[in-house]
Amino acid sequence: MEATNSLNIFTPTQTRVAEVATPPKLNPPSLKEALHIVSPKLLPFALSLSGNMADAEDLCQATILKLIENKDKFLIVDFKSALRKRGLPEDTKNADDIEGIFSEMVPMHGAIEGYNELVTMGHDVYILSTAPWKNPSAWSDKLLWVKGYLGKVAYKRLILSHNKNLNSGDYLIDDRVANGAGEWGEKLLRFGLDKNGQPFDYPNWDSIIEFFKSVN
């Protein structure tokens, strides 16, 4: 799949901003696998809170379940919302090549508020997104989406590119390293969850806002 289900935000040179990118399709681990992945860090902390191993393990399981249940809430756009509207299965192949599909997506929780807060904080926020090459409607749909949900605050701040490394700025927030995002090096802030369902350093919009408050 060439383009995924989100918009990306990046900061032009000499300004501070973020990019929010599209997470890949995730195959979440089983509860047992997820517990094995995060237990070395999570279990000792849970034990310090609960005081006994049984309650600590229950707390770990509840935390992991919460992460898995909300794995799709770490984007700016809910790609699956468009599939649901059309009555299509969530694992539909090449769904991003369907004409008009991007016009039917709704924002994810906290995305619009987070974007506006970054702007209010004084950051020059641009949306950097990769549109599918085989779906011409996606290019215009993404523009209309930005106009409809973000309005004047994002006026002329949408960039569609398959080579994010050709853009420059202070920070790039992306859940992937594809399409040149990995070439941002230390400026790349990994967003969302990895393929094992484990959170990156910046798993949601709250963590993004906290980071920019710390560097403001």
**Span 67-92, pLDDT tens digits:** 555 444 434 777 778 888 888 887 88
Question: Domains in the chain, start-ordered, CATH in brackets?
Answer: 9-23+74-215 (3.40.50.1000), 29-72 (no CATH)
Q: How far apart are CA 158 and CA 169, in angstroms?
A: 14
pLDDT number for residue 73:
41
pLDDT tens by residue, 106-140: 887 788 899 999 999 989 899 898 889 999 998 99
pLDDT tens by residue, 133-185: 999 998 999 999 899 989 999 999 999 999 999 998 889 988 888 899 999 99
pLDDT tens by residue, 47-60: 887 888 888 888 77
- List Cβ neighbours of 182 (8 Å cut-off, separation of 6 or more): 188
Whole-number CA gyration radius for the chain: 18
> Of 52 and 61, which is predicted with more confidence?
52
